[in-house]
Amino acid sequence: MDTISIAIQKSGRLSEKSLELIRSCGIDFYADSRVLKASASGFPMDFLFVRDDDIPQYVADGVADAGIVGRNEYDESGIELEVVRDLKFASCRLSIAVPRGFSYDGLKSLEGKRIATSYPRILSRILRENGVNAEPVVVSGSVEITVEVGIADAIADLVSTGTTLKMNGLEEAECIYRSSAVMIARRDMPQEKREILDRLLERIDAVMLARHKKYILFNLPSDKLDEAAAIIGGMKSPTVTPLMDRGWVSVQSAVDEGRFWAVFENLRALGAEGILVMNIEKMTE
Ligand code: ATP
Ligand code: ZN
């Protein structure tokens, strides 16, 4: 039978979340992540553990059929593949940071300056789009020290909290690009492999959808049902079961996590009792 191979970062900020996502799809692997290759159990898939920078090229060459990588690495690679899902983890931003005292007033302030970055392709595209002429200084790591040592006037680097910048006397001036982990895939995948990938994606969607939903169950006087349904919103219609005690019903529904507390409080105010809230493991629309 056919299998697909998926490239995953060997060790770094993407590794754990990538494996966790795949595990929540009911797929596990035998070997530990120190080996290069591993087979999945319960799914026709192989894992390839590599450096994230190499993932787009491996997928392009067909060494792997798909891969999980930061959108920044994919865009920086300049390789054209199919981005099949935004996986929403490992979010970060590429930001311009300047030393304290640099008066920054938009990208124009970078005209003629040297900007250190590990993402010259992305940076150059954005500068070009904004009509700014600046000189990218390409460094592969420790971008934040380049101003201090005098090889750049400003930097463009990935930020998630901004603490590293502050420690190096820099201030985040402007976010110019946002990234999160994406699943990329070969464009020319044979039909059998494409079908396996689609099965994987269906599982990923079910897991991702469930992640920001809660399942809520409560008892309610039946004459309040319409109001409760309006509060819950979202889903087609809640499931309603009559209780032994006539005049009361048990209601269950999925609720968006972001709206959860508002829904909870409004249901309480409406007279809901015995509210039970559960995490959802998997879900389809
Ligand atoms: P490798 O050894 O595999 O080349 P790396 O050092 O290039 O690893 P990591 O630091 O593990 O890469 O980051 C992997 C990805 O995580 C980045 O490309 C980016 O998409 C994402 N990321 C999230 N937050 C941050 C952050 N604060 N700094 C850098 N990358 C981040
Ligand atoms: Zn890397």
Task: Give the whole-angstrom CA distance, residue 133 versus residue 138.
Answer: 16
Q: Which residues contact 33 (CB under 8 A, 6 or more apart)?
A: 10, 11, 15, 19, 49
Task: Assess contact for 97 and 165: CB atoms under 8 A.
Answer: yes
With 0.85 as the threshold, say if the pTM is over it: yes
Please name the residue whose Cα sits nearest to atom 19 of ligand 1.
70
Closest atom of ligand 1 to 9 CA is: 3
CA of 211 to the centre of ligand 2 (A): 28
Closest-CA residue to 79 (of 63, 64, 94, 58): 58
Q: Considering its fold, how many domains does the chain have in total?
A: 3
Task: Give the whole-angstrom CA distance, residue 48 versus residue 256.
Answer: 35
| Domain identity same for 17 and 57 | yes
List residues near ligand 1 (CB under 6 A). 9, 12-14, 51-53, 70, 72-73, 90, 92, 158-160, 179
Is the pLDDT confidence value at 272 over 80?
A: yes
Predicted local confidence at residue 181, as pLDDT: 98
Task: Assess contact for 182 and 68: CB atoms under 8 A.
Answer: yes
Task: Give the whole-angstrom CA distance, residue 44 versus residue 33.
Answer: 18
| Domain identity same for 49 and 115 | no
Task: Give the whole-angstrom CA distance, residue 195 versus residue 187.
Answer: 13
Q: What is the pLDDT of residues 124-173, one digit of tens each?
A: 999 999 999 999 999 999 999 999 999 999 999 999 888 889 999 999 99
Please name the residue whose Cα sits nearest to atom 18 of ligand 1.
70
Tell me the average pLDDT across 247-274: 94
| Domain identity same for 64 and 124 | no
Q: Residue 203 has which token pair? A: 């599982």
CA of 53 to the centre of ligand 2 (A): 5
Closest atom of ligand 1 to 52 CA is: 3
* 59 secondary structure, DSSP code: H
Q: Which domain holds residue 239?
A: 213-279
Please report, for the domain that includes residue 243, its CATH number.
3.30.70.120
Is the pLDDT confidence value at 32 over 90?
A: no
pLDDT band at 106 (very low <50, low <70, confident <90, very high): very high
How far does Cα 225 stand from its chain's mean position? 37
Write down which residue in 190, 209, 228 finishes a domain: 209
pLDDT band at 34 (very low <50, low <70, confident <90, very high): low
Task: Give the whole-angstrom CA distance, residue 279 versus residue 249.
Answer: 22
Q: Virtual CA dihedral for 81, 87, 92, 95, nearest 10 degrees?
A: 40
Please name the residue whose Cα sits nearest to atom 2 of ligand 1.
51
| Domain identity same for 99 and 85 | no
| Domain identity same for 136 and 261 | no
Q: Is 258 helix (H, G, I), strand (E, B) or coil?
A: helix
Enumerate residues with CB within 5 Å of ligand 2 (an ion). 52-53
Average pLDDT, the chain: 94
* 117 secondary structure, DSSP code: E
